[in-house]
Structure 1
């Protein structure tokens, strides 16, 4: 696959989690999150987007979100659970994207805020209409997804590389 192939990044913030006494890393999904995660999966499938690879934070709430989300997709992509996605900075998230093989066309990242919102905002250099403003007004709530498209190698992912082509908050 050529390095100038059109590529797509789907950023998914984990579904709504419980506020329990457990460590933050081990917090489970709340009932609302268990309903929102499959709905987000149906939305992505309905848009005709099937990930080739999913990178998922190792936190319990992201793993549970992914388990419920993936059941709605037409096929199950390869999944990598990555500790670096938990509490990752923008620079760390971009570094993880830069490691992606150019065999991957559609990448799904299941992570946390503020990272998912910051990454979507940073990568979306060219966006038509008010999509970026709408995403930024919404604050990237739990179960929100952003789709960013770009041409080139994953090694070239940096600020402003792509364009935001979809933003799907939950319940919209």
Structure 2
């Protein structure tokens, strides 16, 4: 497990919702959400809001499908929630994801909207591979939202929302 000391004391990891297949000549970066992806992003954002999950800061990949997933969250969070879009999340590594989180010492809760397999590897780095495998035996689904809290023993998966 990774040693990130609070703050932030809550981390949200949101995998972008289902994207359309690339059309001929289209870059992966520019793939939009599918109709199912739009619906799933809205469902997860609504459920997160219903549960009171409102991050202070949302950091999203600049890829179109992540920006569109973050837009669904924008409608579900408080007006004071800050949104940042970071190129490094597109082809990032778990170390980049974790560095972005740990650098947010002025925020109590931070959400990353990003890509698999790195979002899954980031969750495993925080809570441990065994806990990750036990909680998500089929892996981290599209539009999945992990809620991870700081505890005396380290980081703990508190909730997982999916459509």
Give me the TM-score of the superposition, normalised by structure 1: 0.82
2:97 alignment partner, SS class: helix
Structure 1 segments, 4+ long, off by >3 Å, are 3-6
CA deviation vs aligned residue, 1:34-65 (integer Å, no higher than 9, x gap): 10111111111111111100000000000011
Question: 8 Å contact 1:13–1:140 — kept in the other structure?
Answer: yes
Q: CA offset at residue 76 of structure 1?
A: 5.1
Query: Aligned in 2, Cα 1:4/1:108: closer, same or farther, shift over 3 Å?
Result: closer
**Separation (CA, whole Å) in 1 of partners of 2:68 and 2:117:** 19
Question: 8 Å contact 2:126–2:155 — kept in the other structure?
Answer: yes
Query: Aligned in 2, Cα 1:6/1:56: closer, same or farther, shift over 3 Å?
Result: closer
**Separation (CA, whole Å) in 1 of partners of 2:143 and 2:14:** 6
Counterpart position of 1:25: 29
1:138 alignment partner, SS class: coil
Instruction: Determine which structure has greater relative contact order: mean sequence separation of CA pairs < 8 Å that are 6+ residues apart, divided by chain length.
Output: 2
Q: Confirm whether residue 47 of structure 1 aligns to residue 51 of structure 2.
A: yes
Structure 2 unaligned runs (5+)?
Answer: none
1:43 alignment partner, SS class: helix
Counterpart position of 1:155: none
Query: Aligned in 2, Cα 1:76/1:70: closer, same or farther, shift over 3 Å?
Result: farther
Match of 1:87 among 79, 85, 91: 91
Question: 8 Å contact 1:140–1:169 — kept in the other structure?
Answer: no
Q: Confirm whether residue 113 of structure 1 aligns to residue 113 of structure 2.
A: no
**Separation (CA, whole Å) in 1 of partners of 2:20 and 2:112:** 21
- Count of aligned positions: 157
Q: Confirm whether residue 57 of structure 1 aligns to residue 57 of structure 2.
A: no
Q: Confirm whether residue 168 of structure 1 aligns to residue 152 of structure 2.
A: no
Q: CA offset at residue 79 of structure 1?
A: 0.5
